[in-house]
Amino acid sequence: MKKFLYKVIGMSLLTIGVLGLSTFINYMLSNYDDSLRMKKNINTLILGDSHTKYALNDNILNDTYNLSQNADSYFDSYLKLKQVDKINPQLDTVFLSFSQHNIHKCIENRWLLNPAHLRDRLKLYTPFLGAEECLFLLEKRPEEFITGLFNQIQYPINFLFNNDDLFGGYDELEHNILKQEIENQKKNGIRQEYKSFNDAPLELKYLKKIVKYCNENNITLILINPPLHKSLQNKQDGLYKFYKKNFSNIPFLDFSKIAMKDSCFGDMVHLNPSGSKYFSKLIKQEDLFNINHARAHNFLHE
């Protein structure tokens, strides 16, 4: 029995040892990951999900670095923010996607708490996890957390054969389904996250952590709500109440009601390349990332 127990414990320790070594190597590698490194003259970071990813073209807004990624929850953004800040000391401003779906319970279940989503994200983000995040995942999604720990072994491959889009970045939206979505909305009603509002407690928790992190590290945080199709513009009461209740001291640039033609949208919530070009140019020309200018143009939600 002793021999058996020694062997089982030995094998378990070996597995954990390899895991620890791979985490350490990945942690070191992530400090040199170019996809997380901003140019020296850029000190503004854009984080968030597909809304900011497809809306804000950082080739036009060339004093910003867009690292938004499809379906990034605030938990994902928090991990990314900490790592980007660590290797980019010049970072001083963060624009963060803040739309109704970001803080809606149904999206929390679809993204943050979705096992497949977590497994996919942890392949990349495991080296960025702190003790608190590990405990959070162990409590909420233990199987995905453990799988994620093992999955990070793939990170060096990603690092070596660097895929620029791995952590996010501006991209051109490929689909064009606005007409179908309008038809669909007529038939089946408005999409769930704009129909009724149930706030997402875990997303709230990590959004608050982002706020706290920015405060502690002298980073200006600005919430941003990209343009929405006109049929959804007046369905955001949940968002505004949530903002007023929790984050009214954080600047909030609300571009959701900006008048844009249907031809600018790939679907009801995402801008297509021409929409993104128009929107990014507008921000650049009017200097709308400047709070005072945004206020003057009525884009600052107060």
Partner 1 sequence: MLFNSIDFALFLPIVFVLYWFVTNRNLKLQNFLLVVASYLFYGWWDWRFLSLILFSTIVDYSIGRKLGVENNHNKRKILLWASILVNLGFLGFFKYYNFFLDNFIAAFSFFGAEIKANSLNIILPVGISFYTFQTLSYTIDVYKRKLEPTKDLIAFTAFVSFFPQLVAGPIERATHLLPQFYKKRTFDYSKAADGMRQILWGLFKKIVIADNCAEFANQIFNNSADFNGSTLVLGALFFTFQIYGDFSGYSDIAIGTSRLFGFDLMRNFNFPYFSRDIAEFWRRWHISLSTWFRDYLYIPLGGSRGGTWMKIRNTFIIFIVSGFWHGANWTFIAWGTLNAIYFLPLLITKNNRNHLDTVALGKYLPSAKEAFSMLFTFGLTVFAWIFFRANSIKHAFSYISEIFSTSLFELPKFDDMRSASITTMLVLIFVLAEWFGRERQFALAFKESNSMKESILRKIVYLIIIYSIFVFGGTQQDFIYFQF
Out of 151, 217, 233, 246, the only residue in the binding site for partner 1 (CB under 8 A) is 151
Residue 13 interacts with partner 1 (CB under 8 A)?
A: no
Say how many residues touch partner 1, by CB under 8 A.
20
Candidates 12-20, 33-41, 210-218, 281-289: pick the segment binding partner 1 (CB under 8 A): 12-20
Residue 7 interacts with partner 1 (CB under 8 A)?
A: yes
Taking CB under 8 A as the criterion, which residues in 232-271 touch partner 1?
none
Q: What is the DSSP letter of 104?
A: B
d(CA 155, CA 127): 9
Q: 151: closest CA among 19, 21, 28?
A: 19
Residue 153 interacts with partner 1 (CB under 8 A)?
A: yes
Residue 156 or 201 with smaller CB distance to partner 1 = 156
Q: 78: closest CA among 6, 3, 116, 130?
A: 130
Residue 116 interacts with partner 1 (CB under 8 A)?
A: yes
End-to-end CA distance of the chain: 70
Residue 15 interacts with partner 1 (CB under 8 A)?
A: yes
Candidates 35-43, 86-94, 149-157, 292-300: pick the segment binding partner 1 (CB under 8 A): 149-157
d(CA 15, CA 111): 29
Please state the closest distance from residue 97 (CB atom) to partner 1, in A. Answer: 26
Out of 32, 63, 143, 198, the only residue in the binding site for partner 1 (CB under 8 A) is 143
Residue 154 interacts with partner 1 (CB under 8 A)?
A: yes
Residue 131 interacts with partner 1 (CB under 8 A)?
A: no
Out of 24, 32, 115, 172, the only residue in the binding site for partner 1 (CB under 8 A) is 115
d(CA 139, CA 186): 41
Residue 11 interacts with partner 1 (CB under 8 A)?
A: yes
Spatial contact of 181 and 78, defined as CB atoms under 8 Å apart:
no
Residue 64 token pair: 């910003």
Contacts 24+ apart (CB under 8 A), 282-287: 282/258, 283/56, 283/61, 284/60, 284/61
Spatial contact of 72 and 168, defined as CB atoms under 8 Å apart:
yes
Out of 82, 86, 106, 150, the only residue in the binding site for partner 1 (CB under 8 A) is 150
Q: Which amino acid is at 203?
A: E
Spatial contact of 99 and 239, defined as CB atoms under 8 Å apart:
yes
Residue 109 interacts with partner 1 (CB under 8 A)?
A: no
Please state the closest distance from residue 4 (CB atom) to partner 1, in A. Answer: 5
Q: 170: closest CA among 51, 83, 43, 264?
A: 51
d(CA 173, CA 276): 9
Residue 165 interacts with partner 1 (CB under 8 A)?
A: no
Out of 13, 18, 21, 134, the only residue in the binding site for partner 1 (CB under 8 A) is 18
Residues that bind partner 1 (CB under 8 A): 1, 3-4, 7-8, 11, 14-15, 18, 115-116, 142-143, 146-147, 149-151, 153-154
